[in-house]
């Protein structure tokens, strides 16, 4: 991908109806954003199925992150939307209700920031940002004004005369972001744009992106493999696995109601106990029998048949030390195996006395906390049965 082709994705398809998609599900603000609809996308590379029937709706002004492990089809999805897909695919892409599959990238009204950002090295920051406007023959006064606004938006007004080599990594990313939005495209696509930055810069850029999305109302589809990043900035998250969408939901929904073990293990930290579903226990719960013979209870996400192979999922912060007032099937006796001090919390790994399964317990810490438990000590652990999720 050359810098020229990145920068040429600039002209809105529907400049005459900038907010026709506003007000659809998830759009937090009426602005320049358009609704993006992808329908039944499938794509193969020789023997690899990169995408397998992927459909998704992103509301006007919504910020959606596509989250998934390497090779799950995130970049392929983005490239198809942007118009840079190599070779054929099936399915369709609509922006603001219009099909864009046959439009060249520069007429899709989509700004793109790629994984490996490429600014023109010999051009000043101003000229880099002005490039998409000049390509379109905008008059000098317009170019000057828009570039000024874009620089202000990413807080780089004092850096316009520098060349990229005179900027930090984070500043270069902000220039790329400014260049992608200088044309006010209704849609902005980003492919792991902050992956190379250190933690604090990455957090700054996440806040920047969120602010941009809020200020302009621009629709943002952001690809990442960093679940904390997706949780922090997204209206909704799309979890992909092996070319398919596993689940779509708000960060809260994905965290507390994962529909599969894959999603539960990908978003946040959890412990999974293998076993089988037992009898219904009322209140949306059922019994669970672990391989080691523990009889527990948990909340049922998707319906399960009695005897069906299943896993009980527990977040470490849902488990507490002690068993006072514990509900049936939601406590057990264990032995401390390991303890890790993480600053704000301490994480214990414990093994059930009966069965030997490992559980994790995350306890908030403070300077006044009691002396931590040591390996080999016996403890009781307990949790609310509604915070134990039984998944197929
Ligand atoms: P992600 O961005 O989630 O890491 P990709 O969309 O890049 O995943 O890739 C999805 C699948 O398609 C992977 O199995 C990958 O190896 C394959 N793939 C991607 N691009 C090509 C290509 N140009 N040629 C062959 N296979 C590819
Ligand atoms: Mg990728």
Concatenated DSSP letters of 100-130 = -TTS-GGGS-EEEE-SS----TTS-HHHHHH
pLDDT value at 20 more than 80? no
Distance 50 CA to ligand 1 centre (A): 6
- Three-state DSSP at 238 gives strand
Question: 72: Cβ below 6 Å to ligand 1?
Answer: yes
Please tell me the distance between residue 102's alpha carbon and the centre of ligand 2 in angstroms: 23
Output the CA 335–ligand 1 centroid distance in Å.
45
Contact between residue 350 and residue 335 where contact means Cβ atoms under 8 Å apart: yes
Over range 175-196, report the average pLDDT.
90
Residue with tokens 């007032």: 325
Prediction pTM value: 0.85
- The H or E element spanning position 264 is helix 261-266
Q: Give the closest residue (by CA) to ligand 1 atom 14.
A: 71
Place of tokens 């080691």: 292
What is the rounded average pLDDT of the residues 288-303? 92
Instruction: Decide: 74 in ligand 1 pocket, CB within 6 A.
Output: yes
Is the beta carbon of 47 within 6 A of some atom in ligand 1?
no
Q: What is the mean pLDDT of the chain?
A: 88
Q: Are 247 and 241 in contact (CB under 8 A)?
A: no
Does the pLDDT value for residue 50 go beyond 50? Answer: yes
Please give the residue that has the higher pLDDT: either 121 or 116: 121
Instruction: Give me 340's structure tokens.
Output: 């890790």
What is the percent of the chain where pLDDT is above 70? 92
> Which residue has the least CA distance to atom 1 on ligand 1?
71
Query: How does pLDDT run across 343-363, given as a tens digit for each residue?
Result: 999 999 999 999 899 999 999
Residue in this structure with the two tokens 């992103």, named with its chain if needed: 58
State which ligand 1 atom lies nearest to the alpha carbon of 72.
3
Q: What confidence score (pLDDT) does residue 102 get?
A: 94
Minimum mean pLDDT among 98-102, 126-130, 182-186, 249-253: which range?
Answer: 182-186
**75 in contact with ligand 1, CB cutoff 6 A:** yes
pLDDT of residue 295 exceeding 90:
yes
Closest ligand by atom to 66 CA: 1
Distances (CA, A) of 100 to 22, 115, 323: 18, 23, 59
Q: Confirm or reject: Cβ of 68 under 6 Å from ligand 1.
A: yes
pLDDT range class, residue 30, cuts 50, 70, 90: low
Residue 164 is classified by DSSP as G
pLDDT digits (tens, 9 = 90+) for 310-352: 999 999 999 999 988 888 999 999 999 999 999 999 999 999 9
Ligand 1 and 48: CB distance under 6 A: yes
How does pLDDT run across 3-18, given as a tens digit for each residue? Answer: 333 333 433 333 333 3
Coil, helix or strand for 76?
helix
**Is the pLDDT score of 117 beyond 80?**
no
User: 205, 194 in Cβ contact below 8 A?
Assistant: yes
The radius of gyration of the chain from alpha carbons, rounded to an integer in Å, stands at 25
For ligand 1, say whether the CB of 70 is within 6 Å of any of its atoms.
Answer: yes
The pLDDT score that the predictor gives to residue 311 is: 95
């Amino acid at each position: 991908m050359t810098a020229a082709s990145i920068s040429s994705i600039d002209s809105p398809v529907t400049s005459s109806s900038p907010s026709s998609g506003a007000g659809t599900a998830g759009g937090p603000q009426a602005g320049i954003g358009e609704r993006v609809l992808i329908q039944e996308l499938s794509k193969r590379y020789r023997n690899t199925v990169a995408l397998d029937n992927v459909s998704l709706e992103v509301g006007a002004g919504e910020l959606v992150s596509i989250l998934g492990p390497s090779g799950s089809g995130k970049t392929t999805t983005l490239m198809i939307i942007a118009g840079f897909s190599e070779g054929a695919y099936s399915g369709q892409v609509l922006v603001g209700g219009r099909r864009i599959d046959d439009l060249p990238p520069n007429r899709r009204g989509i700004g793109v920031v790629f994984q490996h950002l490429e600014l023109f090295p010999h051009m000043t920051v101003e000229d880099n940002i002005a490039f998409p406007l000049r390509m379109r023959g905008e008059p000098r006064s317009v170019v000057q004004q828009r570039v000024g606004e874009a620089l202000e938006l990413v807080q780089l007004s004092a850096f316009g005369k520098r060349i990229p080599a005179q900027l930090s990594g984070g500043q270069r990313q902000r220039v790329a972001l400014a260049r992608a939005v200088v044309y006010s495209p209704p849609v902005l696509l980003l492919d792991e744009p902050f992956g190379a930055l250190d933690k604090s810069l990455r957090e700054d850029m996440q806040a920047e992106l969120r602010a941009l999305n809020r200020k302009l109302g621009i629709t943002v589809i952001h690809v990442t493999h960093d679940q904390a990043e997706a949780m922090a900035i997204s209206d909704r998250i799309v979890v992909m696995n092996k070319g398919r969408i596993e689940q779509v939901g708000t960060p809260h929904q994905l965290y507390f109601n994962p529909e599969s073990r894959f999603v539960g293990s990908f978003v946040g930290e959890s412990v999974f106990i293998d076993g089988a579903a037992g009898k219904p226990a009322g209140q949306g719960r059922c019994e669970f029998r672990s391989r080691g013979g523990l009889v527990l209870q948990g909340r049922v996400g998707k319906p399960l048949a009695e005897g069906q192979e299943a896993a009980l999922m527990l977040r470490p912060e849902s488990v507490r030390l002690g068993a006072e007032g514990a509900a049936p099937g939601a406590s057990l006796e264990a032995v401390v195996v390991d303890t890790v001090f993480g600053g704000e919390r301490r994480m214990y790994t414990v093994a059930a006395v009966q069965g030997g399964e490992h559980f994790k317990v995350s306890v908030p810490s403070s300077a006044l906390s009691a002396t931590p438990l040591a390996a080999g000590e016996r403890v009781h652990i307990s949790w609310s049965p509604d915070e134990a999720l039984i998944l197929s």
